[in-house]
Chain A
Amino acid sequence: MSREFIARHQRARIIAALAEETAEKGYRAVTVAHIVKRAGIARNTFYENFGSKEECFLATQEFAMNTALERVVSAAGEIDDWPQRVRAGLTAFLTYVGEEPALARTCMVEALSAGPASVRYYEESQQAFVSLFQLGRDVSPHGGQLPETIEEALIGGVFWIVYQRLTGPEASRIGELLPELTEFILTPYLGADEAGKVANGGGEQNSGKRRDRG
């Protein structure tokens, strides 16, 4: 094994350990000692990778948001029909959250009490999803008249709902949110009727602008 491989692997293990510890104990209560123990590494190794718990936390947030975004882009990118694309992207996002509840809790719940840098990162990273939603203006009959901030508000709403579920007892049922969140996002662009059809798994025939299904 190359030195680089080991280093990358160590970093990933530390990030996973921080997420698990944070989801269990809360950000404030977690110490570097907890992380080191959970990751099964030496204290020195931690400090070779990160300057502090705060730095490690930010790296964890960055890792999770990048992974989420990659998953969304790769799921949504294959589809031309915009409403279906939103549905696929949202499916990928909710699936990732469901697969990694500790990481999701760390980044969407604990991040809010982990200091100003984390809150800022949380707020800014939501903006990465704006362009995916903005494409809806081209298929909307009134796309030109939609409020400038609609994408920002829709994403804020989706994150808030997921955040609420992650703090409650229904965290494992995140995936069930798919139809209602799809409908919530699509309604301003397509109207409630069409949005409802797509949300419930239909609506392909009416939405035009799509390539051959193959």
Chain B
Amino acid sequence: MRDPANPSVDSPEYPPELARLPPGRHGLPREFVAHNQRERLIAGLAEAVAENGYAGTTIAHITRHAAVSRRTFYEHFNSKDECFTAAYDTVMTELRERVGSAFEQEDEWPDAVRAGIAAMLEFLASEPHLARLSMVEALVAGPVVVERYDEAIQSLVPYFQAGREGRPPEVLAGLSPTTEEALVGGMVSLISRRIFAERTEELESLLPDLVEFTLTPYLGSAEAAKAARRS
């Protein structure tokens, strides 16, 4: 299926922002070092927030985890908020690319939905710190990030809207303009409640439930349940 949210997606790679440069002298070009410092600060923030929560995180925590100086921090960011926003955007870009590319690899819409949800759960389960940063801490990081969070959730709507295509009129009659928003909201609430409770390891077991839940309005319960239990 063509990815309805990101029409041109490159092959997914782990974001360079989350990779780390080993400390010490390395004789690398200045621009590379600067770029890498920014990435290290972002990774440092993710670790600091996982440890202390957003409110409890200070710039000193971030620079300690990133192993850079305070001055370097201020060369890249004006505030903790700005650094957090950069980290949030990095995680979301990665998540979107993974979901988009998993979705694209399937021919049939129900399989594409399943693959997209699986990719999302897998990423969040494998990165509990980033899961917490993007789904829990983002909400307490102030209105700017909350707005981005809302946008990120709404950006999943087109994947479900694609399911309307070719559906018989009686099925379409049962869908409302907000069906997809409600499905996305329900799915995200299930996921964030697990992350909130620090039960990230349960995320992947939600796959069949989430597939059945999101496919039911389009395929009916019986077909949706079949698609959910297919492996």
Contacts and interface: CB of A to CB of B under 8 A. Distances in A.
Interface residues of B, number: 45
Q: Which of A142, A159, A160, A167 has the most CB of B within 10 A?
A: A160
Interface in B210-231: 210, 212-213, 216-217, 220-222, 225, 228
A113 interface: yes
B142 A113 contact: yes
A191 B221 contact: yes
Contacts of A150: 209, 212-213
Which of A157, A164, A188 has most B Cβ within 10 Å?
A157
Contacts of B183: 157
B108 interface: no
Nearest to B220: A191
Contact of B176 (A116, A146, A164, A180): A180
Nearest to B212: A147
Interface string A58-98: 00000000000000000000000000000000000000000
B182 A184 contact: yes
Contact of B179 (A123, A179, A180, A188): A180
Contacts of A119: 136, 139-140, 196
Given A115-B55, A120-B196, A188-B216, A180 B177 contact: yes
B28 interface: no
Contacts of A115: 55, 140
B186 A192 contact: no
Nearest to B208: A147
B78 interface: no
Contact of A149 (B139, B170, B190): B190
Main secondary structure of the interface of B (DSSP, over half): helix
A154 B184 CA distance: 10
Contact of A153 (B140, B186, B208): B186
B153 to A, nearest CB: 8
B178 A177 contact: yes
B216 A187 contact: yes
A181 B186 CA distance: 12
A208 interface: no
A204 interface: no
A146 B196 CA distance: 25
Interface in B137-175: 139-143, 146, 150, 153, 170-171, 173-174
Contact of B146 (A113, A158, A195): A113
B188 interface: yes
Contacts of B216: 187-188
B199 to A, nearest CB: 13
B95 interface: no
Given A152-B189, A153-B209, A112 B174 contact: no
Nearest to A118: B140
A196 to B, nearest CB: 6
Nearest to B213: A153
7 contacts: A119-B136, A147-B213, A155-B189, A163-B185, A164-B185, A184-B182, A196-B173
Given A112-B146, A115-B55, A157-B183, 18 more contacts: A28-B142, A112-B139, A115-B140, A123-B189, A126-B189, A147-B208, A147-B209, A147-B213, A149-B210, A150-B209, A152-B193, A156-B185, A157-B181, A159-B185, A159-B189, A180-B177, A181-B182, A184-B176
